[in-house]
Structure 1
């Protein structure tokens, strides 16, 4: 029977090695034998878990469904956002960090960021109820703490180095959310916020150099980007707005 490596399984299913390890530990998929590799029936199990997790189901819910032999209702992503909102309003900094860590551990990085943290960040920034600024401040601090945790782990494990240069910022929290997302994809991220309009100099070797653009890119940054791109450097634009600005 044909077998697959963990790297191949992740490429096929769109999952992450860390998630597969957690799902195996939770009993959701059959544990792989290191020498034998993953088998075809295990790929089916992983696909099933990937699809269930993408709906916002918790590992506890998926484990219960597996035992019961059928899927039932899950409150999904709104419940996770609601839990963090409750923590921001009433919980301690420690319980907020614990809740964020648990969600981070259960889901793939893209789902965690795009389905929970980024929508919550947008909602908090548009909120004008009493206490809104305090909730937003606590949320940013919690995101910063989570980013530092995962980035330290990536550094210890010698993951693929990425330089994330924020050249235009409208929301500092969103930049750190991107750092978390990239780290959860298997990168070792170094984040830089420029103080001037001059592009940052990358002193260490990086396999990828990303220019984060939230409010466009200045002509000087864009010229520097094109020169590096023409030189064959591994650089690209990312972020919500990569248009060239007049400033």
Structure 2
């Protein structure tokens, strides 16, 4: 029987080791074996279970309800992501930065990063993206806490083996989203740096030899497509991030 370390499983399943530990300790979703030194070891059945947990969570089931579903119990798991969005909104209404940071860190430990970005943080920011001054203030508070947490995660990721890369926002105004996308890329093994200020005219020649991810948040214009093709012809290591 093949056994895998938590690092191997994290890379294979695309789940942060911190999240795997939270699923075990807090929710009892996993029961890995232990070496004599106390290190977790997972077998193929554990990996299948992790993939099943991921599918439930990504479909919107709150992590706290997954164990019952895995055991075949009947659970009302509808609109799980909406529940988490409301929890974040509720914390924001108290305007307590420390409490908000704690909530974001807890979500980051318990949920896959891709799903958390797409189903919680982006929708909440969209809901707050209104003209009312209160909503703008709450969105600004959330953005600051998100960038703070993501920067911490990126720093931790850079201490591990991986490939170095830089992400640049091109023709966009959403600075926070650039950080969220850097966090997403870090889960795929990239040690990310962020050019925090979006650019109207990126200059890849300023970063010779670096792998660069370009984020636009939307379909490229014809001018952008031509410019991007020109950069590639010049031999720069560029990739469009988030483009289908």
Q: TM-score range by the shorter chain?
A: 0.7 to 0.9
Residue aligned with 1:131, SS: helix
Q: TM-score, normalised by structure 1?
A: 0.77
* SS of structure 1 residue aligned to 2:158: helix
Name the SS for the 2:239 alignment partner: strand
State the partner residue of 1:131. Answer: 134
Distance 1:42 1:217, change over 3 A: same
Deviation at 1:210, TM superposition (A): 0.6
> Is contact 2:170-2:200 (8 Å) kept?
no
Contact 1:168-1:213 within 8 A present in 2 as well: yes
The answer as to 2:39 corresponding to 1:45 is: no
* CA drift at 1:128: 4.1
| Structure 1 counterpart of 2:232 | 229
Instruction: For residue 156 of structure 1, give the secondary structure of its aligned residue in structure 2.
Output: coil
Range with bigger deviation, 184-193 or 1-10: 1-10
1:10–1:17 Cα contact (<8 Å) kept: yes
Unaligned runs of 5+ in 1: 243-247
- State the alpha-carbon separation in 2 of the partners of residues 67 and 225 from structure 1: 46
44 and 129 in structure 1: CA distance in 2 versus 1, 3 angstrom threshold: same
Gaps of 5+ in 2: none
Is the contact between residue 183 and residue 189 of structure 1 (CA under 8 Å) also seen in structure 2? yes
Which is worse superposed, 106-115 or 152-161? 152-161
Matched, 1:105 2:106: no
Aligned pairs (5 A) from 1:27-66: 27-33=28-34, 38-63=42-67, 65=68
Deviation at 1:209, TM superposition (A): 1.5
Which of the residues 172, 197, 200 maps onto 2:175? Answer: 172
CA contact (8 A) 1:88 1:96 kept: yes
Structure 2 CA distance for aligned equivalents of residues 177 and 86 of structure 1: 21
Larger deviation, residues 31-40 vs 71-80 = 31-40
Bigger mean CA deviation after superposition, 192-201 or 111-120: 192-201
Q: Residue 118 of structure 1 aligns with which residue? A: 122
SS of aligned partner of 1:144: helix
Q: 1:133 to 1:53 in 2, by over 3 A?
A: same
Give the CA deviation at 1:94. 0.4
2:83 to 79, 98, 103: 79
- In structure 2, relative to structure 1, the CA distance for the partners of 1:73 and 1:91 (3 Å cut) is farther
Alpha-carbon spacing, 1:233–1:196, altered in 2? closer, same or farther (3 Å): closer
Offset of residue 204 of structure 1: 6.9
Once the two structures are overlaid, the 10-residue window that deviates more, 153-162 or 75-84, is: 153-162
Say whether 1:145 aligns with 2:173. no
